[in-house]
Amino acid sequence: MVKLVRAVVLVVVVVVVVIVMAVVVVVVVVKVVGVVEVVVVVVVVVVVVVVVVVVVVVLVVVVVVVVVVLVVVVLVVVVVVVGLH
Judged against a pLDDT cut of 70, whether residue 1 lies above it is answered with no
pTM: 0.47
pLDDT of residue 66: 93
Q: Is residue 67 part of a domain?
A: yes
3-class SS of residue 19: helix
Tens digit of each residue's pLDDT (9 = 90 or more) over 46-77? 888 889 889 888 988 998 999 999 999 999 99
DSSP state at residue 22:
H
pLDDT of residue 70: 94
Q: What is the mean pLDDT of residues 15-37?
A: 79
Q: Is residue 17 part of a domain?
A: no
Nearest to 55 by CA among 5, 11, 20: 11
> Which domain range does residue 42 map to?
25-84
Q: Is residue 69 part of a domain?
A: yes
Q: Is residue 41 part of a domain?
A: yes
For the chain, the domain total comes to: 1
Q: Is residue 12 part of a domain?
A: no
pLDDT of residue 76: 92
